[in-house]
C-alpha cells in the first residue's frame, strides 16, 4: 500500500505542476490583452486630447471673429449716425399740413400751428424744424408720448 500512496503523491505533484503552467499561460494571455487594451485606450485618449485642443483653438478664433464683427458693426452704426446728422432737416410744413383742428386756416401767432408726424420724425427734429424746443412741444401736447410718435398724428406746434 505504501507504493500506492507514493504513486498518488507523485501524480498529484505532476497535476499541480500542469495546473500551475496552465494558470501561468492564462495570466500571460490576459496580461498581454490588458496591455494591448491599455495602449489602445492611451492612444484614443491622446487623440481626444488633440481634438479638444483644436476645438479650444477654434473657439478662440470664433470669439475673436465675433469681436471683429461687433467692432465693425459699431463703427458702421457710428458712420450712419454721422451721415444722418448731415442730412438737412425737413423744411417747415406747408399749409397743406394744417390740421382741420384749426378750421383749415393757416396758423397765426395767437393760434398755434399743427404738424402731422411723418416717418422718421422725432420731437427733436420737429422742434428744430419749427424753431422751438422739445419741452415747448410737450407742454402744448400733454398727452403726447415722445417715444411713441405715430405717423399721421397731428401735434400742436407752439
Nearest to 107 by CA among 75, 86, 132: 132
Cα dihedral 61, 67, 71, 76 sign:
positive
Q: Check residue 136 and give its pLDDT.
A: 93
Q: Indicate the pTM of the whole model.
A: 0.31
Q: Per the structure block, which three cell numbers stand in for 52? A: 479638444
C-alpha 41: how far from its chain's center? 37
Cα dihedral 18, 22, 23, 24 sign:
positive
Residue stretches of the chain with pLDDT short of 70: 1-10, 89-112
Amino acid at each position: 500500500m505504501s507504493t500506492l500512496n507514493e504513486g498518488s503523491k507523485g501524480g498529484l505533484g505532476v497535476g499541480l505542476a500542469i495546473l500551475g503552467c496552465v494558470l501561468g499561460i492564462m495570466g500571460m494571455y490576459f496580461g498581454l490583452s490588458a496591455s494591448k487594451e491599455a495602449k489602445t485606450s492611451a492612444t484614443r485618449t491622446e487623440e481626444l486630447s488633440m481634438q479638444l485642443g483644436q476645438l479650444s483653438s477654434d473657439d478662440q478664433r470664433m470669439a475673436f471673429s465675433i469681436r471683429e464683427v461687433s467692432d465693425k458693426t459699431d463703427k458702421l452704426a457710428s458712420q450712419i449716425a454721422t451721415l444722418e446728422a448731415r442730412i438737412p432737416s425737413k423744411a417747415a410744413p406747408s399749409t397743406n399740413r394744417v390740421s382741420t383742428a384749426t378750421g383749415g386756416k393757416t396758423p397765426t401767432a395767437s393760434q398755434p400751428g399743427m404738424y402731422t408726424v411723418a416717418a422718421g420724425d422725432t420731437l427733436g427734429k420737429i422742434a428744430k424744424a419749427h424753431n422751438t424746443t422739445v419741452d415747448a412741444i410737450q407742454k402744448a401736447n400733454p398727452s403726447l408720448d415722445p417715444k411713441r410718435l405715430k405717423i399721421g398724428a397731428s401735434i400742436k406746434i407752439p
